[in-house]
Amino acid sequence: MGNGDISWSCVRCGRAFGAARPDACVVCGTEAPSILGIPILTFRPHVSIDALRTQLATVPDAAQPVNREAVKRVLDPALAQTEGLPRRPIGTSDFMATRMAGWEDRFTYLYIDWTDTEEFRADRAFVLDAVLRHCPDRSVAAVLGCGAGGLVASLATAFPASLGLDVSLPHLLLADHLLRGGALSLQLPQARWRQVSMRGPTTPPRGAGFIVADAAALPFAPGSISLVVTQYLLDIAGAPTFIAREINRVLSPGGVWLNLGLPFRRSSDPPDAGLLTCDDMPAFLDDLAFDALEIRRRRAMFHDLSALDEWLPASVHSTIFFAAKKRGDLAPDPVARAFEGHAARRGTAILDMIPRLIAGRRIHLLEGWSFGPGGAKPRVELIAASGKSMSIPGPLGAFLRRLLSSIDGERTAREVLAAVGSASDDALTEDDFVVLLRTLMLRGWLEIGQTRPSAQRQP
Ligand SMILES: C[S@@+](CC[C@H](N)C(=O)[O-])C[C@H]1O[C@@H](n2cnc3c(N)ncnc32)[C@H](O)[C@@H]1O
């Protein structure tokens, strides 16, 4: 085993911190608050904290009484801790971060990972076997999009440091409660509200912990992680290539990436291209400077609830398993550099670049009415580039309409900001706008080119 030392860096400006992570980046000022020992290492940590406050305020309406009590018992101390933190304004442009921080419908993940299900036992054995066969250097393991965090606990048996990263603070607080030996009794919506009791290990695994972070903007220094695991993440990530680039950046030389999950697509793929499967993995990995060690289709149970009730679904998926070794560093990406440079106040090159929406990834904004016993209500529905649809507040709809119509593939980011910022209800600062642009790019809503298409056509 290695020594498990973690080397950190700033998610926004890339500043390397070494082993001592500061409360705020000395270069760009990005804060790194912790809630009940879980650091929040994202572009906008205050948004996760605000989302925790507002979502907890809505728990009484959203959940069954049993769930409401159980969730509040765990999350109330977290909420109390947020009271001591300064409040920062949340603008309309923060909607991407707010949207991703939900906890609803996540209880099945907790049930699978923390009640000794056959499904979790199979996944754990599979991953630990792959670690034994492919991963000689065992210092720091990171599970990206770790959800309920069962694998984080399992990997702590093989690594001195095992970290679970996810964008959802409420979900990680529940997972951490279990990891530290706590108990939780929940009624599962997907299991016809059957109640399940779960409990973490009597001896909490040493070296295991959680971090709120985006898999496409990791808080680790280059070359600092020995193993990265992604499980059911690439298929839901809007732009898996950015996640893969980050994995390449943080893995140590010869470090290993294990992936288990459904077929997925890159945002750059033509609209009519199918999903990538095992056959496409050698080229996908090669492009990202990984050597494939093993690629195969794996039949895996997914959220099998049949042990709870014989009428509940027992589902088995064909999944992609690969183990890949980092071959070398990727060439630096000029767009990523420009974003980091802007955060570090080293330049504004990013504002001279051209954002454009991606062909075949249409975003729909549907404005209409919904009718019910309470009368008619205006309603705005957003169907994102990923195909996921959600109801959004009217002012956000108006903001998105201005933003998306300004991104015409000709205007620079600076010109888009001028068009959107002046018409915004809340003051949209240049920093807010650049963070929003970066988040939209990392989620696969848009891409950013260095020059205008018309300039490229000139001889
Ligand atoms: C389908 S669940 C899978 C959870 C877990 N890996 C498992 O297999 O049980 C995907 C998880 O990834 C998280 N997630 C989604 N996008 C993410 C991102 N960009 N960075 C980090 N976590 C993300 C979600 O919050 C969710 O917990």
The predicted-structure confidence for 366-389, as pLDDT tens digits, reads as follows 999 989 998 998 999 998 877 778
Question: How would you list the strands of the sheet with 389-392, edge to edge?
Answer: 364-372, 375-383, 389-392
Give bridge partners of residue 211 from the DSSP assignment. 165
Q: What is the distance in angstroms between the CA of the first residue and the CA of the last residue of the chain? A: 57
Q: Ligand 1 pocket: which of 40, 146, 168, 233 to mutate (most atoms <8 Å of CB)? A: 233
Q: Which atom of ligand 1 is nearest to the CA of 237?
A: 16
The H or E element spanning position 249 is helix 240-250
**CA–CA distance, 27 with 361 (Å, rounded to integer):** 36
Q: What local confidence, expressed as pLDDT, does residue 101 receive?
A: 47
pLDDT at 247 over 50: yes
| Contact present, 275 and 161 (Cβ < 8 Å) | no
pLDDT at 457 over 60: no
Give bridge partners of residue 377 from the DSSP assignment. 370
The predicted-structure confidence for 431-447, as pLDDT tens digits, reads as follows 999 999 999 999 999 99
Residue 28 DSSP code? T
pLDDT at 187 over 50: yes
Average pLDDT across the chain, whole number: 91
The H or E element spanning position 251 is strand 251-261
Residue whose CA is at the smallest distance from ligand 1 atom 16:
237
Ligand 1 centroid distance, CA of 233 (Å): 5
Q: What local confidence, expressed as pLDDT, does residue 387 receive?
A: 77
**CA–CA distance, 16 with 430 (Å, rounded to integer):** 24
From the list 108, 102, 134, the residue with the least C-alpha distance to 120 is: 108
- Interval 209-228 mean pLDDT: 97
Residue 60 confidence class, pLDDT cut points 50, 70, 90: low
**CA–CA distance, 336 with 12 (Å, rounded to integer):** 10
pLDDT at 428 over 90: no
Q: Whose structure tokens read 């603070």?
A: 169
How far from 166 is each of 56, 163, 209, 376, 390, CA to CA, in Å? 19, 10, 11, 38, 21
Residue 94 confidence class, pLDDT cut points 50, 70, 90: confident
- Amino acid in position 265: R
Q: What local confidence, expressed as pLDDT, does residue 61 receive?
A: 60
Residue 310 confidence class, pLDDT cut points 50, 70, 90: confident
How far from 78 is each of 75, 150, 287, CA to CA, in Å? 5, 21, 42
Residue whose CA is at the smallest distance from ligand 1 atom 27:
147
From the list 9, 35, 13, 37, the residue with the least C-alpha distance to 22 is: 9
Ligand 1 centroid distance, CA of 67 (Å): 22
Q: What local confidence, expressed as pLDDT, does residue 62 receive?
A: 59
The H or E element spanning position 372 is strand 364-372
Q: What local confidence, expressed as pLDDT, does residue 98 receive?
A: 61
- Interval 389-406 mean pLDDT: 89
Ligand 1 centroid distance, CA of 108 (Å): 13
Phi then psi dihedrals of residue 249, to 5 deg: -65, -45
Q: Hey, how many other C-beta atoms are within 10 angstroms of the C-beta on 258? A: 24
| Contact present, 161 and 246 (Cβ < 8 Å) | no
Question: 3-class DSSP state for residue 316?
Answer: strand
Which range, of 257-261, 382-386, 455-459, averages the lowest pLDDT? Answer: 455-459
Q: What local confidence, expressed as pLDDT, does residue 459 receive?
A: 45
Protein residues with CB under 6 Å of any ligand 1 atom? 109, 144-148, 165-168, 171, 214-216, 231-233, 236-237
**CA–CA distance, 444 with 237 (Å, rounded to integer):** 8
Q: Ligand 1 pocket: which of 111, 126, 143, 167 to mutate (most atoms <8 Å of CB)? A: 167
**CA–CA distance, 107 with 68 (Å, rounded to integer):** 12
The larger pLDDT score, comparing residue 424 to residue 214, is at: 214
The predicted-structure confidence for 30-45, as pLDDT tens digits, reads as follows 999 999 999 999 999 9
Q: What local confidence, expressed as pLDDT, does residue 268 receive?
A: 85
Q: Give me the residue spans of the domains in the chain.
A: 8-326, 335-457
Ligand 1 centroid distance, CA of 260 (Å): 12
Residue whose CA is at the smallest distance from ligand 1 atom 13:
145
- Interval 138-155 mean pLDDT: 97
Spatial CB neighbours of 392, under 8 Å, sequence gap ≥ 6: 95, 380, 381, 382, 400
**CA–CA distance, 436 with 169 (Å, rounded to integer):** 20
Which two three-digit tokens encode residue 404? Answer: 């998306």
pLDDT at 262 over 70: yes
The H or E element spanning position 354 is strand 354-357
Residue 455 confidence class, pLDDT cut points 50, 70, 90: low
pLDDT at 313 over 60: yes
Taken in order 303, 304, 308, 310, the sign of the CA dihedral is: positive
The predicted-structure confidence for 97-133, as pLDDT tens digits, reads as follows 665 444 557 899 999 999 999 999 999 999 999 999 9
Which two three-digit tokens encode residue 56? Answer: 């907890």
**CA–CA distance, 33 with 433 (Å, rounded to integer):** 22
Exposed / middle / buried, residue 115 (Cβ in 10 Å: 0-12, 13-18, 19+) = middle
Taken in order 115, 174, 151, 109, the sign of the CA dihedral is: positive
**CA–CA distance, 297 with 320 (Å, rounded to integer):** 5
pLDDT at 305 over 70: yes
Residue 238 DSSP code? S
The predicted-structure confidence for 62-75, as pLDDT tens digits, reads as follows 567 888 889 889 99
**CA–CA distance, 314 with 306 (Å, rounded to integer):** 5
Q: What is 8-326's CATH topology? A: Rossmann fold (3.40.50)
Q: Hey, how many other C-beta atoms are within 10 angstroms of the C-beta on 164? A: 29
